[in-house]
Amino acid sequence: MGLRPDKPMVGRYWDYLETVASRLMGSQLDAEALAKGQLARQLKAWVEPTLELIDNAKALELRQWVKVQRAVNSIHMALKQLFADLARQIQREGNGEQPAEEVTSASEALFFRSERVLYLPEAEAPTYTYQPRLKDVPQEPSPPLHPNAFDDTPLMLPLGTMDAKSHLMERECLRQGFNVLRTGKGVFTADKGDQRFYFKLSRSPLVSVDAIALCTHKEATREFLAPLGFPVPRGRMFPSGDHDNAMRYANLIGYPVVVKPATGVRGIGVVPNIRSDEELRSAFHVLESSKLGHDDFIVEKHIFGEDYRIMVIGGKVRAATLRAPASVTGDGKHTIAELILIKNRYRQNIPHLKSRPIVYTESTQYQLDKLGYTLHSVPRLGERINLSGSCNLSQGGDSVNVHHEMHPSIIKVAEDAVKAVPGLDYCGIDFLIEDHRKPVGETDIGICELNAHAAIGTACYPMFGEPVNVPRQAIEAILHNQGMPLTPLDDSQVSVKVRVRGKVTGVGFRKWVSRHAQKGGLTGYVKNRDKRTVEAVLQGSLVAIASLATACIRGPSEALPTSVRVMHVKEPLHDGFTLIR
């Protein structure tokens, strides 16, 4: 196979997998070795070039790395099939009547071996241990947290790449007995009797227009909260090129400071932890040579600490999620590449992180270079290797709910800050906190941002720590505000009628519904109601019903649905799912 640097890595990987398959087919296999699973060494020799591939991998785009992951999973399945076929072939050639169990055990044994050499090693589940450093001194570690695994993951498959925010809100509305009309991927109305609530992504009736205008402007948020005594980082905005005043200001508030463009996105031009005039001058240079170099810029006090999202609903903190940068923890046995694959396998169990694996990027390479490691290094037991400078979950970051150990004084600050903003009953506050277990005066803390339409999947489906059903609490708060009683349905047995309008006939819509309904264990039927309407009755678990109903606004690739109406119905239980022609 050899190294062909001119070919993209994914292409090379596929070539390699094909080689493995053809060698297996053409090799001399004997039934005994196959049955005993003694092919490990032979297989390993064929698989060895993978090491080289990983070693020579340059920074990949996210999609490429995802493809590699998929390739690994696919070869997993392909080999399983291949070994089963081989075993059957050998069985025939061996002109004996071998019992069926032996064939199965032979293929399973091979499958197990191939799994090991194909970098899907069996290993302990990755854990997360919180251990902050205050002025470079490591603090007492918190007890380790184990990764979550959610049963909802396979049921939410119909959603595909659709955003889960709106789906989660819809699910809770259905649970409270509301009927739902969805007119877009993120837009729906929930109604019950005379009451009608509008939702757009995670924008809910708990937020007013002025609150969103404040929250979406970082400078305005600072100007509003600072005079009220909340811990916002001291700072101000300067027009482009006003470096003299900015430098005097940095000296006035004291180093370390951060410089960032006022209209910043994705960290472009941001220079943190500037400690002197000299560093500040070079930071201005970095800023000016960035894409946003001609914009106004902000100089503010640097806050040490990690990134937290605290959800406040109805004046109370409901979840506090620490967003840690992508990392792996060594076990003294596996290489960093293997640890990434192991962790990604566990991320597959989290609906919110399923499509956000840890990826190998320039930033990963930079972080590893800094530590003197490569992807083949085997870190020692318990050693945490940071793989990214960003806390972004889409860059492979971990979400950890730390509400249980957060200091009450921090919780109070979060609740008071949200209460101070009129018309804000639902908010995700972004904090930087040095050690969340310490009271406000003893640890560095700063409010970075208020999010009036914060993503709710992070708190609902964290990688580590207790999950919190934030949309449920939001819907309950809405009902409470309207003086409506809570009437939750039984999650496991819901019965709804779904009507999808638009270009939905002659495009395989019914087949699509039927396939997903069966996968989700739903019963009922689907039929064409008229030329532009498909009607389905779905019975079963709320999660499966809600995700299929949300996904109906997209449907199969040829469909163009315009609206989806979901109504609760009382129907006798159907036996299985029927596609009515």
Partner 1 sequence: MASPSYDKGERPMDVRIDSFRALLDSLPSIAKEGLLIHAQRLPASARTMLLPRQLAYYYDRHADGESVGKPAGFVCGVSGRNLLPAVNFCQDIRAWRARLERHGIKVVKAASFSGRSQRDHLRYAKKIGYPVVLKPVIRNTLYEEFITDISNENELEFLFRKSRELKKNKASDLTASPYAMTRLSEDHVDEHGRRFLPLSVRYLLEKQLAGRHLRLIMAEGQLAAAFHKPLQDKVWQPADNLHESYRALGEKVAKVMQGMAFLRIDLVVEDPASEAKEGNHAVISLSEHLKCYKLYDEHPAVTQRLLELVAGCSPDISLETPLQLEAVLAGISRGERLERELRRTAQALGMELAIEELDQVTGRVRFHASGPAWAGSALTWAYANGLGIEEIPTSVDVKVIRSGRGG
By the criterion CB under 8 A, which residues form the site for partner 1? Answer: 181, 183-184, 187, 189, 194-201, 203-205, 207-214, 216-217, 219-220, 223-224, 227, 236-239, 242, 245, 248-249, 252, 419-420, 422-423, 452-453, 562-563
CA nearest neighbour of 339 among 351, 352, 326, 323:
326
386 is catalytic: no
Q: How far is it, in rounded angstroms, from Cα 26 to Cα 127?
A: 42
- Find all residues with CB under 8 Å of 28, minimum gap 6, and list them: none
Question: What burial class does residue 208 get, using C-beta atoms within 10 Å of its C-beta: 0-12 exposed, 13-18 middle, 19+ buried?
Answer: middle
Handedness of CA 149, 151, 155, 159 (dihedral sign): negative
Least separation in angstroms between CB 563 and partner 1 = 6
Q: Which is nearer to partner 1, 292 or 406 (CB)?
A: 292
Q: How far is it, in rounded angstroms, from Cα 165 to Cα 418?
A: 21
Give the containing element (helix H, strand E) for 370.
Answer: helix 362-371
- Rounded to the nearest 10 degrees, the angle between the axes of helix 470-481 and helix 164-175 is 50
Q: Which is nearer to partner 1, 52 or 242 (CB)?
A: 242
Least separation in angstroms between CB 496 and partner 1 = 18
What is the edge-to-edge ordering of all strands in the sheet holding 179-182? 195-200, 187-192, 179-182, 560-568, 494-503, 533-540, 523-530, 577-579
CA nearest neighbour of 146 among 462, 468, 459:
462
565 is catalytic: no
Least separation in angstroms between CB 247 and partner 1 = 9
Contact 321, 462 (CB under 8 A): yes
Q: Which is nearer to partner 1, 6 or 194 (CB)?
A: 194
Least separation in angstroms between CB 188 and partner 1 = 9
Least separation in angstroms between CB 549 and partner 1 = 17
Q: Which is nearer to partner 1, 152 or 476 (CB)?
A: 476
Least separation in angstroms between CB 196 and partner 1 = 5
CA nearest neighbour of 394 among 360, 362, 353:
353
Residue 48, amino acid: E
Least separation in angstroms between CB 478 and partner 1 = 10
Q: How far is it, in rounded angstroms, from Cα 414 to Cα 316?
A: 9
Concatenated DSSP letters of 252-290 = HH-SSEEEEETT--TTTT-EEEE-SHHHHHHHHHHHHHS
CA nearest neighbour of 315 among 198, 474, 465, 460:
474
Q: How far is it, in rounded angstroms, from Cα 167 to Cα 477?
A: 18
Annotated catalytic residue, options 510, 515, 529, 532:
510
Q: How far is it, in rounded angstroms, from Cα 534 to Cα 502?
A: 9
Three-class HEC string of 390-434: CCCHHHCCEEEECHHHCCHHHHHHHHHHHHHCCCECEEEEEEEEC
Annotated catalytic residue, options 73, 236, 528, 532:
528
Q: Which is nearer to partner 1, 340 or 478 (CB)?
A: 478
Least separation in angstroms between CB 449 and partner 1 = 15
Active-site residue list = 510, 528
